[in-house]
Structure 1
Amino acid sequence: MKKVIFKLLLLLLVFTSCDNGYEELNVDPTKSSQIDAASKLTATQLRMSGERYEAWRANLIYQSTMMQHIATTASYWSGDKYFWNKGYASSLWDRYYSGPVKGIEDILAQLKKEEQPAEMIAIARIQRVVIYQRLTDLYGDIPYSEAGKGYLEGVLTPKYDLQSDIYADMLKELEESAAELSTGTSKWGAADLIFKGDQAKWKKYANSMMLRLALRMIKVNAGGAQEWATKAIAGGVMTSNSDIAYIQHTPGPEGINKNGNGEAFSADSNPRLSKTFVDFLNGDPRLPILGARRSDKSTIVANLKGLPNGLDSDLLKAATGEDNTNAYAEPNRAIITGEDAPMFFQTYAEVEFMLAESAFRWGLAGGNVESHYNAGVTAAMKYLSIYGSAATISDVKIQDYLTNKPFVAANALQMIGDQYWVATFLNEYETFANWRRTGFPNLVPVNYPGNETNGTIPRRLTYTTSEQVVNPTNYAAAIAAQGPDVLTTRVWWDK
């Protein structure tokens, strides 16, 4: 036994003494030890655009129905009837923190470590704001300053930052990042799916996002809203539909580059256009582009009727005598619901409507409210052609619409808000946020039996319930600061 032990100790000593250099010998010199940041940016942008999971649940099931763009009798479409489905309500949180948040924080750390150009870092910082803005607007106080730092810094239970602090930092990030950009092509190049590395377009996007965030603060910090709106406009915002921030998706295997909304529509035949939406679009050339009758795909305007929100099949039968919803208009599957459809984050039309509001409130952007309003309506109709030639609206039809439904100065804010609502169809994150900020359009709530909100339209979605277990101290602090984790609690800028 002693001899055996002696031999084992001798072998251990030999292997230990020969260990120097083994780490290098085990590294394959033909393979990178770090994934290129460009590949990470592409993946992060695709994840940010939205996969079927959260696009279906957070964007469509909840927000599109609460905002009365879409209606359905299906009971699992929780937003249509103000039910609380904890998994659906937390779906954006669940996917964003494990995907885009982790991705963008990793990219920024890598860019700084590799000492990449300032313009690359600036674009990544703007992308970071886009990700967190969607999260904080939907949930309120969220992990921000410590988010995505689990692998990088070992922060596994991040604190929740106040939304007021998050907004202050996001505005700073946009201002500083825009200052780093010029007119050349970024080193990101084609890896950037939004602007292909065009620095000038990213600069306009940063300032346009700044304008969005500025106006979001109008109810809680009117002075700050004006200050930041002034900076944004002076810095240079979007000036045409060629500046729109969007990703053009392509068909292919699931999870590669499909439009998340499109995947949801492929899987779900229940959604119909809301009666509120269709009625507003009466006389609007966008209606036969956005909708088609479910039964026969007709786009004849006289055949397009909207489904009231807040009904189930029994209530529909009692109200109309109809057994199903096939006679109602659905989102036009020939044009706008494809898995290869573009996904829009911010459009020039939205910017023109914000300029119109800024002109109305503070005399900014030349002070001509009507001019910016008309430019917004025109852009909102023109940009639909990005879906394809079948979505093209002629100049004559646009002018006829503006002539028949002219701008009325006395109703400026309502008209701007109503048109913003139409222009953000299918980007329901922005629709929901802008409605909470402005109160337009004037939506009539539903009061379905057993709803969660006493017949009022929800004001936010709820945190993932796992936070109560894995991050209880910070979760409790967020509840204490913001209010109960329920659908009716208002976020900071919605007071």
Structure 2
Amino acid sequence: MNKQHKYLLYITTATILTSGCTKNFEDYNKNPYGASNDDLLPDYGLVVGQLKEAERSIYVYQPAWVTQLQQNLMGDVFGGYMMSPTPFRGNSNNMNYDLVDGWNLYALNPAYSSPEASVMAPLANVESITKTPAPDLYAMAKILKVEAMHRVSDIFGPIMYSKYKVRAEDGGYDYDSQQDAYSNFFKDLNEAITILTPLRTQKPTPTFVNADLVYKGDYGKWLQFANSLRLRLALRIVKADAAKAKTEGEAALANAGGLLSKADDNFSIDIGATVHPLNTISGAWGDIRMGAPMESILKGYNDPRLPKYFIPAVDSAVLHQFKGIRNGIDIDAKTRYQGYSALVDLPSKLQLMTAAEAWFLKAEAATRGWANAGTAKDDYESGITTSFTQYGLNASTYINDAVSTPAEYIDPKAITAGQNDIKTGSQWLSTITIKWNDADAFETKLERIITQKWICVFPDGQEAWSEFRRTGYPKLFPVVINNSAGKISTTVFVRRINIPPDEYLTNPKGVERAIKTLKGPDNGGTRLWWDVQ
């Protein structure tokens, strides 16, 4: 077994106590390149390095065990995309709501500083010196910061954002409440959009090109991404602050730069020759497989994207079928489910937003009556078509399917009674069809939009989990075994991750103030600010 992989299995409390994001905070806030602002100014060479570091730290891709902890054994599973065949920790782990602090710490640490990654430290350095002399780099830093940190906030709630590096009078470091964090996300995006809008047709500076691991220096596409991200976050808060959501969403829709619209507009970070971490986790390690909801929805819809996402099972009980594993079940040994459907090998790009998602965002905005959103039907169908185009497929037949619905789920290797209760008539099995119908009620339209968006966002399980919590769609299957000791409801699902214990030890005053901004106790059953029932 890979040495780093063993670390996942044997991580201990001692490790937790030595790896917090606020421990040695002053060291984390220093320029990691050991350069002063004056050193950075001449040709911005080190600024390029810092921007690239931040881009590569949003979704940590190397080493793969960090990805496994940062997202795969959290968002990818909670979002319904995947499930592990491995009974980690005696089959008491995140997958059945015994949230593992030593794992979940890695959803927080890379955002601030860790041996593997850092977002806030390098971006703070870039922002501090580029606003006037290099506003394009400053705008990139702002956009990257929002993209990275909204993901962290959507896991934990309160985060260190606007007050990053600012010590409180009592010596602690303060968090923004999630509401304040989102307010600052919008401010930062607005500032970046204001800078990039007049630049959108201009030739980029060589420095911007060198720093850009996504669009190779295209100001117009960065502007489209910023607008699309703004619309994503506007809809994220629509139940918590409808007026703010509408204002921000309509601003995104009205901007002259537009949104992502074509498959080659996808915001995907190039990691060069490095193997995608999910290829290692699914292939070399055999630690992740298709989730049962993916099987139910894609097979029920006869979705041709299914073989673009997963490979047929090799287990004799389900040989050559596309077979997923239900979340939170009794697993006695890895060999029981390792032969179910693995992921296809992914290219060396970290996909964080698709143009298809942007079309579905527009479709929801149109359904809500927001200005400049177009028509919901056209947006919805464009979302499906754009996703199909991404995989070299034709969507014409699929779009007009008014009959197919998600399929029943049956596991022939189930151990626990009740594991195969996802049948017709079950509250967990959706009856939503594909074809758009303008006469449908709002909630039916929303389920249709979000279900198709969920399919196209794959494999970004963090975004899938966030949208499931916001909308309740697509309908996922509850865990069979719940090891949360009553902290997380089986039928309401996991809503967030608690702040890691080492933060309580290294920043007690700051954490004490942070948890007062939550709707309940600091555990996985408490809803986030934007997560309104």
Structure 2 vs 1, CA of residues 126 and 472 (structure 1 numbering), >3 Å: closer, same or farther?
same
TM-superposed deviation, 1:369: 1.0
Deviations 1:371-429 (A, max 9, x none): 11111111122224xxxxxxx32x2xx11111224223312110101111111222111
Query: 1:217 and 2:253 equivalent?
Result: no
Identical residues among aligned pairs (%): 25
Question: Given the alignment of the two structures, is residue 83 of structure 1 paired with residue 90 of structure 2, yes or no?
Answer: no
In structure 2, how many angstroms separate the alpha carbons of the residues matched to 1:245 and 1:149?
Answer: 32
Q: Does 1:274 align with 2:298?
A: no
Q: CA deviation at 1:137?
A: 1.3
* Aligned counterparts of 1:304 and 1:293: Cα–Cα separation in 2: 5
Question: Which of 419, 429, 445 lines up with 2:462 in the alignment?
Answer: 429
Q: CA deviation at 1:191?
A: 2.1
Residues in 2 aligned to 1:156 and 1:430: alpha-carbon distance in whole angstroms? 34
1:311 aligns with one of 320, 323, 329:
329
Structure 1 residue 205 and structure 2 residue 225: aligned?
Answer: yes
Partner of 1:9: none
CA offset at residue 312 of structure 1?
A: 2.8
Partner in structure 1 of residue 341 of structure 2:
329
Cα gap change, 1:341 to 1:156, in 2 (>3 Å) = farther
Q: Which amino acid aligns with 2:506?
A: V
Tell me the equivalent position of 2:528.
Answer: 491
Does residue 412 of the first structure (1) align with residue 458 of the second (2)? no
Name 2:130's counterpart in structure 1: 111
Between the aligned partners of 1:326 and 1:60, the Cα distance in structure 2 is: 16
Q: CA RMSD in A?
A: 2.6
Larger radius of gyration: 1
Other structure's SS at 2:202 match: coil
Q: Cα deviation per residue 1:213-242 (whole Å; 9 max; x = unaligned)?
A: 110111111111111111100112122223
The residue identity in structure 2 corresponding to 1:438 is: T
- In structure 2, the residue matched to 1:389 is none
Do residues 71 (structure 1) and 83 (structure 2) align? yes
Distance 1:324 1:447, change over 3 A: closer
- 1:285 equivalent to 2:293? Answer no
Deviation at 1:470? Answer: 1.2
Aligned pairs (5 A) from 1:369-380: 369-380=376-387
2:508 to 472, 481, 490: 472
Aligned residues of 2:363 and 2:379 also touching (Cα < 8 A): yes
Describe the superposition over 1:134-154 as per-residue Cα deviations: whole angstroms up to 9, x where unpaired.
Answer: 11111111111122568xx99
Q: Which residue of structure 1 aligns with residue 475 of structure 2? A: 442
Q: Does 2:132 correspond to 1:132?
A: no
Residue in structure 2 matching 1:100, options 113, 119, 135: 119
Deviation at 1:48, TM superposition (A): 2.0
Query: Are residue 401 (structure 1) and residue 398 (structure 2) matched?
Result: yes
SS state at 2:311 partner: strand
Distance 1:465 1:276, change over 3 A: same
Q: Structure 2-normalised TM-score?
A: 0.76
Q: How far apart are the structure 2 equivalents of 1:435 and 1:157? A: 34
Q: Following the alignment from structure 2 to structure 1, what is the Cα–Cα distance between the partners of residues 215 and 165? A: 25
3-state DSSP class of the match of 1:206?
helix
CA distance in 2, matches of 1:466, 1:92: 13
- Paired amino acid for 2:362: L
For residue 326 of structure 1, report the CA deviation from its aligned partner: 4.7
Q: Distance in 2 between matches of 1:441 and 1:412?
A: 12
> Structure 1 residues 288-297 or 237-246, which shifts more?
288-297
Is 1:293–1:326's contact at 8 Å kept on the other side of the alignment? no
TM-fit CA distance, 1:156: 7.6
Name the SS of the counterpart of 1:48 in structure 2.
Answer: coil
* CA distances 1:31-90 after superposition (whole Å, capped 9, x unpaired): x94462112111221122313244211311112222221123422283321221001122
Question: Which range is displaced more, 345-354 or 59-68?
Answer: 59-68
In the TM superposition, residue 327 of structure 1 has moved relative to its aligned partner by 4.5
2:158 equivalent in structure 1: 141
CA deviations on 1:228-269 (whole Å, 9 max, x unpaired) are 1111001121222232111122334xxxxx533334335520
SS state of the match for residue 460, structure 1?
Answer: coil
Question: Which whole-Å deviations, capped at 9, do the CAs of 1:292-343 have from their partners, x for residues lacking one?
Answer: 124289x99x622222222233499xxxxxx6225521212xx32xxx5321
Q: Does the C-alpha gap of structure 1 residues 268 and 157 become closer, same or farther in structure 2, counting only changes over 3 Å?
A: farther
CA 1:439–1:108 in 2, change beyond 3 Å: closer, same or farther? same
User: Whole-Å Cα distance in 2 between the matches of residues 351 and 109 of structure 1?
Assistant: 31
The structure with more helix, counted as a fraction of residues? 1
Deviation at 1:490, TM superposition (A): 1.2
Aligned to 1:6: none
CA distance in 2, matches of 1:380, 1:211: 19
* Structure 2 residue aligned with 1:13: none
Secondary structure of the residue aligned to 1:313 is coil
2:240 counterpart of 1:234: no
Could you tell me how far apart the structure 2 residues matched to 1:211 and 1:129 are?
13
Structure 1 residues 156 and 434: CA distance shift in structure 2, 3 A: farther
The structure-2 alpha-carbon separation of the partners of 1:306 and 1:122, relative to structure 1 and needing over 3 Å to count, comes to same
CA distance in 1, matches of 2:373, 2:151: 30
Distance 1:450 1:154, change over 3 A: closer
Check the 8 A contact 1:49/1:247 in 2, yes or no. no
**Counterpart amino acid of residue 245 in structure 2:** A
Write out per-residue CA displacement over residues 90-132 of structure 1, whole angstroms, 9 at most, x where no aligned residue.
Answer: 21101211011111111212324xx422222112111111121
Letter in 2 for 1:401: Y
**Aligned pair partner of 1:348 in 344, 355, 375:** 355
Q: 1:154 to 1:383 in 2, by over 3 A?
A: farther
Under a length normalisation based on structure 1, what TM-score does the superposition of the two structures give?
0.81
Q: Could you list the structure 1 runs, at least 4 aligned residues long, displaced by more than 6 angstroms after superposition.
A: 153-156
Change (3 A) 1:57 1:267: farther
